[in-house]
Amino acid sequence: MPSSSSPARLCRRMTIGLTRRAWLGAWVGLMATPFAPAAAAADKAWQATLSAARGQTVYFNAWAGSERINAYLQWAAAELQRAHGVKLVHVKVADTAEVVKRIRAEKAAGRGEGSIDLVWINGENFHALKREGLLFGPFSEQLPSYAFVDTVGKPTTRIDFSEPVDGMEAPWGMAQLTFYADRARVPAAPQSAAELLAWARANPGRFTYPKPPAFHGTTLLKQLATELAADRKPLYAPVTSESLARTTAPLWAYLDQLHPHLWREGRQFPTSNVVMRQMLADGELAIGLTFNPNEAANEILAKALPASVYSYQHVGGTIGNTHFLAIPFNARSRAGAQVVADFMLSPAAQARKADISVWGDPTVLAVERLPAAQKALFATQAAVPGAVHKPAPALPEPHASWVDALEREWSRRYGL
């Protein structure tokens, strides 16, 4: 049982009304300045949003491939109903691209009130919706809880795959490519692309990656392309046929060398990182990969991986980004969707999400700027087994246009 001062219990105790208190605290200094009228007007506008949201149902389209995430959303739904009278319905999806297609179809059909109120999104899907004018906003920086978002130390909270967010989506969590291995089989982790190739040669069949366009497989392609490129600048601009050929030449040369040493000699690839994780647990692989630095720690806690598993990142940095919440242009419950997004940004919700035993998704907040009571929600045990203990720099995501280009070229060269 958690103690009365544990993060879990504090989280439950402080959720109701926490968002508004946190926001008002952030404005305390401003209320004594000439900006006080603006702050008062913003507070009045938010109260109107809260009032309009009460009684609304928010259909939240979100990936459903994790029992922990699904359970977290069930907790959030209960808290939102209790604190704000908003009903949150998790519409479980396998691929966010399908959500984008549905929003497009609704616009083409002239549907003024759509079936989606909120969507978990980033990258190329955000680019498509923003470019086509399919998003409501800007709204995110007007959310009360946005006051504590770390926009300086975590610049990807405002830049999504090289595209300015412009207030059209609210940051929800941080992610970074992370490798994990069993120390009994991999006592010294490969610390770079070059070392990974050398390790694979010495340990044939013990590493692989998900088949693109599976997200984690594509992310590894972006990691290797970034790490191996002589000039990274083209990766952060819209892709062209010339930049693709020039910038990715080292990537394809590397994969040509790596694939013969992969599981099944690179002639077959797992469908997802979940499959990879099970293969590692079964002893078939020795190194896995994830986009959540705390995933291995989660799995150790759940006894799905042995305690000898450790996580690491390439010392030169690994691809990192922020994932977001966006509201479609034709959302039926816009006020409710904003209240949900604000709650998801609140210190209580962010702390629970960051808890290894709940989800382990890193926070977007500047924890050091929080009031003491809210900062305490993020208190965690040191040296959690399986977690990354020496984080590497986060490398910015290439421009979203590179995703399809890399996947098409990979398929042309290696697709079976």
**pLDDT value, residue 272:** 92
Domain spanning 7-174+322-378: CATH superfamily:
Periplasmic binding protein-like II (3.40.190.10)
Which residues are CB-neighbours of 239 under 8 A, at least 6 positions away?
A: 399, 401, 402, 405
pLDDT in tens, 6-43: 333 334 333 433 444 444 444 344 334 445 676 788 88
**pLDDT value, residue 25:** 45
pLDDT in tens, 59-98: 999 998 888 899 999 999 999 999 999 999 999 998 999 9
Quickly tell me which residue has 């913003």 as its tokens.
Answer: 42
* Identical fold, 7-174+322-378 and 176-320+392-414: yes
Judge whether residue 1 has pLDDT over 70: no
| 87-93/318-326 β-pairing | unpaired
Mean pLDDT of the chain: 90
pLDDT in tens, 107-121: 999 998 999 999 999
**pLDDT value, residue 36:** 64
pLDDT in tens, 198-228: 999 999 999 999 999 999 999 999 999 999 9
Q: Give the start-to-end residue ranges of the domains of the chain.
A: 7-174+322-378, 176-320+392-414
In angstroms, the CA 406 to CA 401 distance is 9
Chain mean position to CA 302: 21
Mean pLDDT computed over 391-401: 91
In three-state secondary structure terms, 163 is strand
Q: How far is CA 351 from CA 8, 255, 284, in A?
A: 9, 39, 35
CATH code for residues 176-320+392-414: 3.40.190.10
Q: What is the sign, positive or negative, of the torsion defined by CA atoms of 334, 336, 338, 344?
A: negative
Judge whether residue 159 has pLDDT over 50: yes
Share of the chain above pLDDT 90, in %: 80
